[in-house]
């Protein structure tokens, strides 16, 4: 069974290899405060500030 997917399209998607990621919105002064996000069993997480989606490539929990 595949993980549920969100109903909307993320403005930006990045594939990562670690289950903990930091997001600062990029864009220098136009970004947002840096937040650390943990990717859970669903295999993806979205930043609460900019909606950027991080998708884990590989097994969750491996650093």
Containing structural domain, residue 52: 13-56
In a domain, 30, yes or no: yes
Whole-number Å distance between alpha carbons of 43 and 52: 14
In a domain, 46, yes or no: yes
Whole-number Å distance between alpha carbons of 38 and 22: 9
Residue 32 carries which DSSP code? -
CATH number of the domain to which 49 belongs: 2.60.260.40
pTM value > 0.75: no
Residue 31 carries which DSSP code? S
In a domain, 28, yes or no: yes
In a domain, 6, yes or no: no
Q: How many domains does the chain have?
A: 1
Q: Write out the chain's pLDDT in tens, 63 residues.
A: 555 555 556 689 999 999 999 999 987 788 899 999 999 999 999 999 999 999 999 754 544
In a domain, 39, yes or no: yes
Neighbouring C-beta atoms of residue 26, cutoff 10 Å: 11
């Amino acid at each position: 069974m595949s993980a549920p997917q969100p109903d909307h399209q993320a403005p930006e998607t990045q594939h990562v290899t670690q289950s903990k990621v930091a997001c600062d919105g990029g864009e220098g002064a136009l970004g947002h405060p840096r937040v650390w996000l943990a990717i859970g069993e669903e295999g993806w997480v979205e930043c609460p500030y900019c909606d950027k989606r991080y998708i884990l490539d590989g097994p969750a929990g491996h650093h």
